[in-house]
A = this chain, B = another copy of it.
Amino acid sequence: MSFLRSPFNPLIKPGDVIPTRSDFEVICAFNAGVARYRDEVILLLRIAERPQNRDPNIHLCPIYDPVNDKMVILEFAKEDPRCDFSDSRLVRTDAGLFLTSISHLRLARSHDGVHFEIEDKPALFPANIYENYGIEDPRITGLGGRYYINYSGISDIGITTCLASTEDFRSYQRHGVIFYPDNKDVEIFPEKIDGKYYALHRPSPSSLGRPEIWLAESPDLLCWGNHRHLMGLRDDCFDSGRIGGGAVPFRIDEGWLEIYHGADRNNRYCLGAVLLDAKAPWRVLARSRRPIAEPETEYEVNGFFGNVIFSCGALYEDGKVKIYYGAADTCMCYAEMPLAEILSSLV
């Protein structure tokens, strides 16, 4: 499969990004939402920061305090037997989970699609009780001259999906929680179908069911319903552990093409593709049997969380699918694929 990686990869690395505080460090710049805006490609990056830690005996967890509008740093002793530090991304305690970093969204602009100017300040920063552990993994959907940004709001209350919007990528308006816990990987379709908005979403049930892809409809982008189970895990495939939507789906002659992610039980994240019916997007017409992209390069295999290719946005232009993707939960990369090759691989 021709997953043509840019020679400039990684396009953006953590060291390229200015932290929001002098005592913080940026450890990940990845999983960006993507839009074409005028003559520029816009990336809305997820930037994960953590407090600089000079004490080898403690772990630090940053939390945003929405009541006092300030960052709080929790300390956990590495020798504390009540704490589990085995996952680099979090600390497990009797009092619940805490994250070792906190994410916000940061804008980057490019004329050629591979060289980006990154803004110095956040575009969207945690701002309320649904975001006190950070905001993550945005997707951008252009609709009627406005750009709708949905992102994961992470907090001790749960993992929600929140909606914001902008006309100019300078000022942003928040619209509230559109999917309650646990839900991630929401992609709003860029056109109405038969008068209704549609979105892919990925609930993570706590008892029956598995982390799989559902479809919802909406009259107003804020309220979502008529939920339908769209596609499931496959025990013998690259997507045996969890799946979720990736890039915002785009319209081609054959229907809607969705680049999704599938992880196996070892948490190796690959990209797959699925073709949905143009007028009835709850109908799966064809789906990748094998990944269209899998982690192979050094920057995809090694990082904050290795063996991950994860896309939150792609552009379909000139017959090419231009895929922006986070690599190893660390940096931002780019690859191109001929549409025909993706389509011919679907079964």
Contact = CB atoms under 8 A, between A and B. Distances in A.
A201 interface: yes
Interface in A199-246: 201, 203-209, 212, 214, 216-220, 222-229, 232
Interface residues of A, number: 45
Count chain B CB atoms within 10 A of each CB in A130, A218, A223 and give the residue with the most: A223
Contact of A209 (B158, B208, B226, B227): B158
B217 A223 contact: yes
A126 to B, nearest CB: 14
A47 to B, nearest CB: 20
A272 to B, nearest CB: 20
Given A133-B208, A219-B219, A158 B203 contact: yes
B208 A158 contact: yes
A14 interface: no
A267 to B, nearest CB: 14
A81 interface: no
Interface of A: 96-97, 129-130, 133, 154-160, 175-183, 201, 203-209, 212, 214, 216-220, 222-229, 232
B177 A227 contact: yes
A155 B224 contact: no
A88 B78 CA distance: 41
A203 B219 CA distance: 23
Contacts of A97: 207-208
Contacts of A133: 208
Contacts of A176: 225-228
A181 B183 CA distance: 9
A209 B156 contact: yes
B208 A154 contact: yes
A225 B157 contact: no
Contacts of A207: 97, 158-159, 182, 204
Given A204-B206, A207-B97, A227 B178 contact: yes
A208 B223 contact: no
Given A219-B219, A223-B217, A223-B218, A205 B228 contact: no
Contact of A225 (B130, B204, B224, B226): B224
Contacts of A214: 180
A219 B221 CA distance: 11
